[in-house]
Structure 1
Amino acid sequence: MGPLPRTLELFYDVLSPYSWLAFEVLCRYKNIWNVSLQLRPTLIAGIMKDSGSLTAMRFLTVVKLEHPELLEKVSRELWMRVWSRDEDITEPQSILAAAEKAGMSTGRARELLERVSTPQVKNQLKETTDAACRYGAFGLPVTVAHLDDETYMLFGSDRMELLAHLLGEKWLGPVPPAATARL
């Protein structure tokens, strides 16, 4: 049996293209580096006060609560819509389209979308945003590494080489050989 996985938390908002870069790199490296990647949808507006992604981030929050296994795919689809195809992610139909493309049934996606304004979802997103702020976040993405009873906060998508060093791992570039088979 190998060493237990170390924990990384990625605080992100789909309106942050830099969050997307960090997201993709960490998703590619989570198995290579043997880390437990905790995806933490965070409202960048709570940190920077204005982004327009409130419904999308609440939707990702309810996905994390109800279908955490789909969080990576739904997050990626929202990024693809807004940053790759210049499509909307603020309207319900856009969010539903992203969820469906990620493999969620239309009915289930609608049920989750109806819950985005519930106190549970609002509070969870606020708690996650507050947690990022407690770590010292001043923007996104923020990666928090929990290693040997120490906590390290790294801001930005350009800190992967430093993260690899902290983990005692090799940085193989943004698309490591083990990830190319998935692309």
Structure 2
Amino acid sequence: MIFPLTVPPFVTSVAVYCAAAGRLTSSAAKTTDRIGISSIPVRMDCSPPAAVPFLKKIARRGNAVERLSANRASTGYEICSRVRRMPQTFDFFYDLGSPYSYLASTQLAGIEQRTGANARLLPITLGGLRKATGHQVPPPQQLKYMSEDTARWAHQYGVPMQIPRAFPISTIQALRACIAADRRERGAEAMHALFGAYWADGEDISDGSVIERALARAGLDGKGLVAATHLQEIKDALRKNTDLALARGVFGVPTLFVGERSFWGNDRLHFAEAELRRQI
């Protein structure tokens, strides 16, 4: 039997199509397709072997499924399973001047490895959040507790940690450097390099020369990235990240979003991971 299908070019639609292809059988082999902007009218045999050429074409042309190894796929089931395993993402809002953001950042790789999800790194200015929300700088009593608490967490995670002599500081230029690095697909490396320079080594990352050296130690173009921090588009990007955080209800860092569920604080990472597992 021939089934006329209209398949929107989205991963979910392809997955639905694959599921249908796995259940239907036919002896017909005629296949015609036209790649359109909003739909892909198809008339084809819906058995898995006949579905392969069609799905391979989607894998080649559709941006959403570029990661599929279509040439290695042997059945419609295999391509379908690859589509379903497209990685989930979660948002990580952070400020380099936040000790709990640093601690949380050391755990991101583990979360990604265990869940198959990818972190979208979103540097923001905590000062901008506080100004917009009216949140005040923590009192001395809280800062004393924070010093003790972060030391406990660092020991728990097995990572170096110290409260820098220069604390608090302006992290705006360092955050811009992270955004510039992200545009070169090196955002994670820049973030970890600058977090480490500040919270592990106690360096003053409000200084452009310190930022440059820290990035260079990580194998990045420190000079070029520091120069990029003066570009208006990079400045605007940091402002937009902060505005996005405010629009989504962020009031402190680190804050993670899994879908539209938010998790504030280093001590909420296990809840965020559980939500990732639930959604995948």
After TM superposition, is the score higher than 0.5? yes
1:99 aligns with 2:215: yes
Structure 1 residue aligned with 2:177: 59
Counterpart of 2:190 in structure 1: which amino acid? V
State the distance in 2 between where 1:164 and 1:53 align: 28
Structure 1 residue aligned with 2:59: none
Q: Return the offset for 1:35.
A: 0.6
Q: Return the offset for 1:33.
A: 0.4
**Which structure 1 residue ranges, 4+ long, deviate > 6 Å from structure 2?**
none
Larger radius of gyration, structure 1 or 2? 2
Q: CA RMSD in A?
A: 1.7
Q: Return the offset for 1:112.
A: 2.2
What pairs with 1:10-159 in structure 2 (closer than 5 Å)? 10-49=92-131, 52-65=170-183, 67-68=184-185, 70-104=186-220, 108-146=221-259, 151-159=260-268
The alignment partner of 1:153 has SS state of strand
Q: What TM-score do the two structures reach when normalised by structure 2?
A: 0.54
User: 1:141-167: CA deviations, max 9, x gaps?
Assistant: 110112xxxx11111111112112212
Counterpart of 1:58 in structure 2: which amino acid? R
Unpaired segments ≥5 residues, structure 1: 170-183
Structure 1 residue aligned with 2:91: 9
Structure 1 residue aligned with 2:276: 167
State the distance in 1 between where 2:223 and 2:108 align: 29
Unpaired segments ≥5 residues, structure 2: 1-81, 132-136, 138-168
Counterpart of 2:224 in structure 1: which amino acid? E
Q: What TM-score do the two structures reach when normalised by structure 1?
A: 0.81
Count residues in correspondence. Answer: 160
In the alignment, is the contact (CA less than 8 A) between 2:111 and 2:273 conserved in 1? no
